[in-house]
Amino acid sequence: MPAKRQKPVIAAQLYTLREYLKTPDEIAKTLKRVRQIGYDAAQISGVGPIAPADLRKLMLDAGVEPIGAHVGLDDFRADVDKVIADCQAWGVGYVAIPWLSHKACTTAAAWKQLFKEFEGYARKLARAGLVLQYHNHMFEFEKFGIKNGKGGTTILDMLFSGTRLLQAELDIGWIVRGGHDPIAWIRRLAGRLDQVHLKDWGVFDNQPVWRAIGEGGIAWPAVLKACRQAGTHDFIVEQDDCPITKDPFLSLKISRANLRAMGLG
């Protein structure tokens, strides 16, 4: 299993910069900018075609440590041994299933069966010294088993009640967008929450929009404190799009500065 870190790591999620990561030359230039704006670590996602070992070299040459990766469920199903080999070539200890369609399953029983599949992958990865995670969005807060308008169990409840080795990569922004309390979820998953995604949101033109960390409505000092108490050591900044700055590099820079002002790194 990956070694626990003493100091918190603040990393950039490369998916934020996916439009600037399409070729090896672009990747190298972008990674240098990532380091210049204050990140010395990153999570791999949204990167164009490049061999895992070559990507690791570009990242380390730029002073940006790879600390994890996102790999789709289809890749696990096609060849889980290749997923393991890629993670080893990247030099990461964590890999997350980043996305599912909200229509992947239509019954609680089907969701539970899918989560057994996840736990099987988690067991196989654990034997290779890797940690499998699941990265949530908003649909996982839909409930099954509602009776007379009350009760029910969320998909995310079923996921983490039905697994043991699988870790959470909670996305704080999506928890809030789903109408739930991030601190309650952080406390619930203490010990299974080595890494989290930090994402803020506000309102523009009467619509919810993603914002840089600290520029939206989430109470970050309390959230960050809860994460540290839960054992989180890697804080990964992601912004799906940047409607206010129109510049993902600027958004990442603002997030980094605001986190530093909050006492994180």
pLDDT in tens, 239-260: 999 999 999 999 999 999 999 9
* Beta-strand relationship, 65-70 and 41-44: parallel
Examine the pLDDT at 1 and tell me if it is beyond 90: no
Structure tokens at 30: 């972008």
Class of domain 9-261: alpha beta
Examine the pLDDT at 4 and tell me if it is beyond 80: no
Count of positions (residues) in the chain: 265
CB 242 within 8 A of CB 210: yes
Examine the pLDDT at 6 and tell me if it is beyond 90: no
Examine the pLDDT at 3 and tell me if it is beyond 90: no
pLDDT of residue 19: 98
Residue with tokens 């040459």: 61
pLDDT of residue 2: 79
The 10 Å Cβ neighbour count of residue 244 is 18
The 10 Å Cβ neighbour count of residue 152 is 13
- Cα 186 to Cα 28, 68, 75, 144, 259: the distances in Å are 35, 20, 28, 22, 18
CB 210 within 8 A of CB 239: yes
Instruction: List CB contacts of 235: < 8 A, sequence separation 6 or more.
Output: 8, 9, 10, 11, 195, 196, 198, 224, 227, 259, 264, 265
- Listed by start position, the domains of the chain span 9-261
pLDDT tens, position by position, 7-41? 899 999 999 999 999 999 999 999 999 999 999 99
DSSP 94: E
Distance CA 79, CA 98 (A): 17
| Predicted TM-score (pTM) of this structure | 0.96
Q: How confident is the model at residue 190 (pLDDT cuts 50, 70, 90)?
A: very high
Question: Of 54, 38, 48, nearest to 17 (Cα)?
Answer: 48
Q: How confident is the model at residue 199 (pLDDT cuts 50, 70, 90)?
A: very high
195 beta partners: 234
Taking all residues of the chain, what is their mean pLDDT, rounded to a whole number?
97
Distance CA 197, CA 200 (A): 10
Distance CA 254, CA 59 (A): 22
pLDDT of residue 86: 98
Q: How confident is the model at residue 265 (pLDDT cuts 50, 70, 90)?
A: confident
pLDDT of residue 178: 95
The 10 Å Cβ neighbour count of residue 96 is 25
Distance CA 128, CA 160 (A): 22
pLDDT tens, position by position, 134-160? 999 999 999 999 999 999 999 999 999
Which residue type, as a one-letter code, is found at position 250? L
pLDDT tens, position by position, 63-103? 999 999 999 999 999 999 999 999 999 999 999 999 999 99
DSSP 5: P
Instruction: List CB contacts of 22: < 8 A, sequence separation 6 or more.
Output: 48
Distance CA 232, CA 194 (A): 4
Q: Which residue has the higher pLDDT, 5 or 124?
A: 124
Q: What are phi and psi of 228, to 5 degrees?
A: -60, -40
Q: What percent of the chain has pLDDT over 90?
A: 97
